[in-house]
Amino acid sequence: MPGPIVLAVYHDVLSAWCFLTAGRLRSLKQQVGDRIRIEGRVFPAAPKPEDYIQHFGSAARAKAEILKEWKAVAREPGGERINAPLMVSQPFPYPASLPPLAAVKAAERQGGMLAHDTYFDHAQEAHLIQCRNVADRHVLLDLAHDLVLDLGHFEAHLDSGECDRAVLAAAETARARGIQRTPTVVFDDRWALPGAVPVETYLAVLQDLLAGRDPRETAPTAEEGWTLRRPYPIPPGG
């Protein structure tokens, strides 16, 4: 009997759209049960603070523009708890992706994919709802403490630089496969679906794959701005 279809979710702690997608994928899992297995994959949108300067021109403008996305997500069902007004009031610049994603990898080193997913979700709550600075080492250690991780091992993994390298290597591999943004969900290591699409779209792609159909032939049901979101084929990860 064939095993479950793996949905690899390329995600970034900082992305409000990834927060929305996580909730939608939990809903999908409730509907289809063991026919799927959901696995997280780190993908940093802006690994370092300089990336914001390069893209937006200044840290202040970067924070202002990104918080427009927060407000858009907060208007979506499932995004209501995202607290853009609180983040506006926080004095620190918008965090870069590498510190919290390296912390996700450090958690993964201890507890596998379950720890990856649990720490990722906890960090997203800290970032998007509590509006803590998830680039701050003390915050990252607090989150690890909350989850009863071994703090000595956690810090050792962070200090070694291996988790930073793992995040950057994973991003390079993903880009080589055609992954360009977060969130992107890859079905069965073959079909990539970018954007925070409705649960019905994920379900339609899954049903096509289970029936042996090409998911590109299904009329798209997700529209993001002016772009219709369809799955596209990618080379296998190996």
Residue 52 has pLDDT above 60, yes or no: yes
The arrangement of strands across the sheet holding 5-11 comes to: 36-42, 5-11, 184-187, 191-194, 232-233
As given in the structure block, the two tokens for residue 80 are: 């209501």
As given in the structure block, the two tokens for residue 129 are: 């709802």
Per-residue pLDDT reduced to its tens digit, 79-93: 999 999 999 999 999
Instruction: Give me the pLDDT at residue 226, please.
Output: 33
Under the banding of pLDDT at 50, 70 and 90, the label for residue 3 is confident
Instruction: Give me the pLDDT at residue 1, please.
Output: 52
Check if CATH label 3.40.30.10 holds for domain 5-233. Answer: yes
Q: How far apart are CA 43 and CA 97, in angstroms?
A: 9
For 58, half-sphere exposure in the C-beta direction (CA atoms, 13 angstrom radius) is 3
Q: What is the largest CA-CA distance in the chain?
A: 55
Q: What is the mean pLDDT of residues 198-203?
A: 92
Residue 48 has pLDDT above 70, yes or no: yes
Residue 73 has pLDDT above 50, yes or no: yes
Residue type, 202: Y
Q: What is the mean pLDDT of the chain?
A: 93
Residue 227 has pLDDT above 80, yes or no: no
Q: How far apart are CA 176 and CA 166, in angstroms?
A: 15
Q: What is the mean pLDDT of residues 212-237?
A: 68
Q: Read off the pTM.
A: 0.93
What are the sequence ranges of the domains in the chain?
5-233
As given in the structure block, the two tokens for residue 165 are: 């390298």
Three-state DSSP state, 224? strand
Residue 132 has pLDDT above 70, yes or no: yes
Under the banding of pLDDT at 50, 70 and 90, the label for residue 220 is low
Under the banding of pLDDT at 50, 70 and 90, the label for residue 224 is very low
Q: What is the DSSP string of 178-220?
A: T--SSSEEEETTTEEEES---HHHHHHHHHHHHTT--GGGSPP
